[in-house]
Chain A
């Protein structure tokens, strides 16, 4: 137990000493790791922002069905029930004639003349069913259902939907999807490059010390004792890189947000990005740390493997 603790603290200490001794190597490896982690974090935030934008736009789409005054409550109830059971439907809201009037009044609060005119007549507004589709393309299915003769005969006017905005919405969705894919590609490419460069850096460090490793092996050092300091060293790279990448992102989204807004052609909802980042600050930092530690440890474990084999092959 004592011996194990002594060995463990020696491994940690040797790793730290090596980190300081190989400062230039460390800086080179960390630079690449910082770039990688920053890009990953940036794409995570941009991705979240884009999906939020698309979500918000989609939320504004709905289909309104206007019912004849002669429709009985039982009929309207059953229609609502049928709509709710459609897979394309996310949400259904029923507005009675009175509800529709209240909503109309609320929407036109400033226009006293109009309100007066309406109040003088008998409520002219039809009872309305508002349907929210799950996605943009679900509108077609909902329309098909509404236009079936059974349903159509209950309606006072043809149903309206946000179809006119549909093309614009589709364009935005398409653009964000492309950006997301490019982002994901960049993340993968940079992660691979990063691992390769870190891997090579460590291999170089090991190559410089291969005699020492061989001597350690011959004197009976265990695999973990030889490998440990390298793993510690690269985990330190990971920790520093993760923290720095979060600081960089912090600078980008919090300090330099206005210039970012300008360069993203308004596609990026910076205020959402900011709040996303700020709300999940510790969570994101933790994920970055885990990622950095993983990349560091994995590359040093792989890089040391070749030098730790018990040389001669089995007979």
Chain B
């Protein structure tokens, strides 16, 4: 009985202190297969940079999709930037998504629009004036080092450049939270590092970044907080971690005990 008021008080503090709160979140796609995420609790502070690692099928994308409301949890609580997802109505989902920048693993760029138009698109749909768009987009394209390529079509870009367009589009609305699902997916080390540097830059400006990756070199060079997910559970959560496949295996083994 005493739990309720305490929780309420705690929640308000949490909203102020935390950017992302997941409390025993479970997601089951298919009852016969077991949960994709199993009672995951995660706290992320504002301006934090969190790397999420884990084997394929561990549940990383599922976690991110819960945050953007692409998927809904089977149970558990999610609060992002003070918004309690239990109280979120369908018609407020667009408003939520405007607050979260997302870099999709498959870019999701519009193939028949130029680089500039793709980035401007994110502003157009929220009613930003054309004048302001013409003012903001070049600045953001500058941040991701795409100056001079405004008029190119996505097909005329390299993988890394496309990825950076996707990042530009994700940050152009200055979201409080940036979610990047394997943004270095199919990139060679140099391009992968270009992308990571942009994410770091944005993080420095004050955006909370959530990044999933398979790339150990990225993890090691970043030296940030690393959360390991294994079979839908959080196996480890370490600040400033240094990782190799061996250390991940050790963590997972330890979590299983």
Contacts and interface: CB of A to CB of B under 8 A. Distances in A.
B126 A220 contact: yes
A150 to B, nearest CB: 76
Interface stretch (B88-96, B137-145, B182-190, B237-245): B88-96
Nearest to B73: A315
A10 B123 CA distance: 12
Interface in A222-276: 222-223, 225
A85 B130 CA distance: 74
A306 to B, nearest CB: 15
A215 B169 CA distance: 12
Nearest to B130: A6
A217 to B, nearest CB: 8
A7 interface: yes
Given A219-B121, A315-B72, A2 B108 contact: no
A67 to B, nearest CB: 78
Interface in B46-94: 68-74, 90-91, 93-94
A66 to B, nearest CB: 78
Contacts of B104: 218
B71 A215 contact: no
Contact of B97 (A3, A212, A219): A219
Contacts of B126: 3, 220-221
B110 interface: yes
Which of B104, B126, B130 has the largest count of A CB atoms less than 10 A from its CB? B126
A315 to B, nearest CB: 6
Interface in A2-26: 2-4, 6-7, 10
B130 A218 contact: no
Interface string B167-195: 00100000000000000000000000000
Contacts of A7: 127
A165 interface: no
A3 B128 contact: yes
B70 A218 contact: yes
B11 interface: no
B124 interface: yes
Nearest to A309: B90
Given A212-B110, A220-B95, A312 B129 contact: no
Interface residues of A, number: 24
Contacts of B121: 219
Nearest to A2: B129
A215 B70 contact: no
B122 interface: yes
A218 B108 contact: yes
A216 interface: yes
Given A218-B68, A310-B69, A315-B74, A4 B95 contact: no
Contacts of A171: none
Interface string B109-137: 01000000000011011111110000000
A10, A211, A215, A310, most chain B CB atoms within 10 A:
A215
A110 B104 CA distance: 98
Contact of B90 (A221, A310, A315): A310
Contact of B91 (A214, A221, A223): A223
A314 interface: yes
A223 B125 CA distance: 11
Nearest to A314: B72
Contacts of A311: 70
A215 B96 contact: no
A6 B72 contact: no
Contacts of A219: 97-98, 102, 121-122, 125, 169
Contacts of A215: 108, 110
A222 B98 CA distance: 10
A211 to B, nearest CB: 8
A220 B173 CA distance: 11
B121 to A, nearest CB: 7
Contacts of A217: 94
Interface string B231-250: 00000000000000000000
Interface in A178-234: 211-212, 214-223, 225
Contacts of B72: 312, 314-315
Interface centre among B71, B91, B124, B125 (most CB of A within 10 A): B125
Interface in A159-191: none
28 contacts: A3-B126, A3-B129, A6-B129, A6-B130, A10-B124, A10-B127, A211-B110, A212-B110, A215-B110, A216-B125, A218-B70, A218-B104, A219-B97, A219-B98, A219-B102, A219-B122, A220-B93, A220-B97, A220-B125, A220-B126, A221-B125, A221-B126, A222-B125, A223-B94, A225-B125, A310-B90, A311-B70, A315-B72
Interface of B: 68-74, 90-91, 93-98, 102, 104, 108, 110, 121-122, 124-130, 169
